[in-house]
Amino acid sequence: MKVDYDEIKKYLTVLSESDRPMLNTLEFIESLGLNQNNDKDIKVFWHNLKLINDANYIECIGDSDGDLGISFTAIGTPIIRIKSFRLKLAGNQALEV
């Protein structure tokens, strides 16, 4: 799947413009205009979340297993567990570019 840099910026902007230092998974999904009950939306959310996490732009609070709160069944159905996300300094700096 090709990286959509405008979409990445949208994720960072949502976190940056929040009035709180952290958003939970469902708040983050909703703020992006995605549907938590739509498997395609959640798979795209997970993909972009992994990209911004790989770039060290966000922190997933309490994520000891590295899945960012989203796992998949054997047939590919996403399972969402509530985690909290915060924008790191590198994420803020990426928005300034």
pLDDT digits (tens, 9 = 90+) for 52-69: 999 999 999 987 777 899
> 41-68 b/e with 16+ CB inside 10 Å = b?
bbbbbbebbebbbeeebbebeeeeeebb
State residue 22's pLDDT score. Answer: 97
Cβ count within 10 A of residue 13: 15
Backbone angles phi, psi at 55, to 5 degrees: -80, 0
**What DSSP element (H or E) covers 42?**
helix 39-54
pLDDT at 2 over 90: no
pLDDT digits (tens, 9 = 90+) for 4-46: 999 999 999 999 999 999 999 999 999 999 999 999 999 999 9
